[in-house]
Structure 1
Amino acid sequence: MLQTPSGGADTGTAPAGGRAMSIGTVLNLLRDEFPEVTLSKIRFLEAEGLVEPRRTPSGYRKFSPEDVARLGHVLRMQRDHYLPLKVIREHLDALERGERPQLPAADPGALPEGSSAGEGPEGAGERPTAARVSRAELLAVTGIDEGKLAEWESFGLIGPGADGGYEIEAVTVARLVADLGRFGLEPRHLRIMKTAAERDAGLLEQVVAPLRRHPNPQTRAHAEASARELAELSVRLHAAFVQSALRAGSR
Structure 2
Amino acid sequence: MLRTPSGGAPDGTAATAGGLMSIGTVLNVLRDEFPEVTISKIRFLESEGLVEPQRTPSGYRKFGPDDVERLAQVLRMQRDHYLPLRVIREHLEAVERGEDVRLPSVGQHDEEDPAGPTVARIGRDELLAAAGIDERELAEWESYGLLTPLPEGLYDAEAVTVAGLVLELGRFGIEPRHLRVMKAAADREAGLVDQVVAPLRRHRNPQTRAHAEERSKELAGLVVRLHAALVQSALGVRLP
Whether TM exceeds 0.5 here: the answer is: yes
Report percent identity of matched pairs. Answer: 59
* CA distance, structure 2, for counterparts of residue 141 and residue 58 of structure 1: 18
Deviation digits for residues 10-69 of structure 1, max 9, x if unmatched? xxxxxxxxxxxxxxxxxxxxxxxxxxxxxxxxxxxxxxxxxxx954499599xxxxxxxx
1:162 to 132, 139, 151: 151
Distance 1:206 1:155, change over 3 A: same
Matches of residues 24-103 of structure 1 in structure 2 within 5 Å?
A: 55-56=31-32, 59=35, 90=90, 95=95, 97=96, 100-103=98-101
In structure 2, the partner of 1:189 is 178
Pair 1:116 & 2:108 matched: yes
Unaligned runs of 5+ in 1: 4-52, 62-69, 119-128
Contact 2:122 2:155 in 1 (8 A): yes
The Cα RMSD (Å) is 4.1
Give every structure 1 segment of 4 or more consecutive aligned residues whose post-TM-superposition deviation is greater than 2 Å.
Answer: 53-61, 83-95, 99-104
Q: 1:117 touches 1:134 (CA, 8 Å); kept in 2? A: no
Rounded to whole Å, the distance in 2 between the matches of 1:117 and 1:217 is: 21
1:217 aligns with 2:206: yes
1:175 pairs with 2:171: no
Contact 1:132–1:165 (CA under 8 A) maintained in structure 2: yes
Going from structure 1 to structure 2, the CA distance change for 1:117 and 1:229 (only over 3 Å counts) comes to closer
Structure of higher RCO (CA pairs closer than 8 Å, 6+ residues apart): 1
230 and 136 in structure 1: CA distance in 2 versus 1, 3 angstrom threshold: same
Offset of residue 157 of structure 1:
1.0
TM (norm. structure 2) is 0.57
Q: What runs of 5+ residues in structure 2 fail to find an aligned partner?
A: 3-28, 38-72, 111-117
Aligned partner letter, 1:238:
H
TM-score w.r.t. structure 1 length?
0.55
Inter-CA distance 136–87: structure 2 relative to 1 (3 Å threshold): closer
Count of aligned residue pairs for this structure pair? 168
What is the DSSP-based 3-state SS (H/G/I as helix, E as strand, rest coil) of the residue aligned with 2:108?
A: coil
